[in-house]
Amino acid sequence: MFSHHSDAEKGYSLLEVVIAIMIMGIALVPIVDSFANSNRLSTPVEERVLIVNHARAKMEELLAMNFSDLPVSGSVTPSNSLSDTVTVLGRTVDRNVYVETYDGDENKDTLPDFPYLPDSNLKKITVQVKDVRFQTLKSAR
């Protein structure tokens, strides 16, 4: 009526252990692959955050400067004295600074012979790091 197992029948057989390890190995492949993919996807996001932070930091540095210390460079050629490079994830990246004169009242003070008359107390500052670009105006007052 009651069956008693011998000591040899207790536990798992080698075949059962091998099959269990194979099943766990097959199940772990997609999990490990998803971790590898998430690491690859996070690198561009991390790079973007670092680039934005470097651009913001440069803009803050420029806004802390005196108005007269910001040399006008124009919108095409970056200012050599204000531009610099930073390291983002082991790569050197340019932080270009452009300083332009700016017409705050949108040419309402133009003379017939001058199509553009910028204000002497207003400068447009642009900071560009890769494809991130910040712009603001700085007043002499």
Along the 141 residues of the chain, how does pLDDT read in single tens digits? 555 555 556 778 888 889 999 999 888 888 887 777 766 666 788 899 999 999 999 999 999 999 999 999 988 999 999 999 999 999 999 999 999 988 876 655 555 555 566 778 899 999 999 999 999 999 987
- The model's pTM: 0.66
Query: Which H or E element spans position 19?
Result: helix 14-63
Q: With beta carbons less than 8 A apart as the criterion, state whether 92 and 85 touch.
A: yes
Q: With beta carbons less than 8 A apart as the criterion, state whether 11 and 20 touch.
A: no
Q: Which residue type, as a one-letter code, is found at position 82?
A: L
Q: Which residue carries 């600074």 as its tokens?
A: 97
Q: Which residue type, as a one-letter code, is found at position 11?
A: G
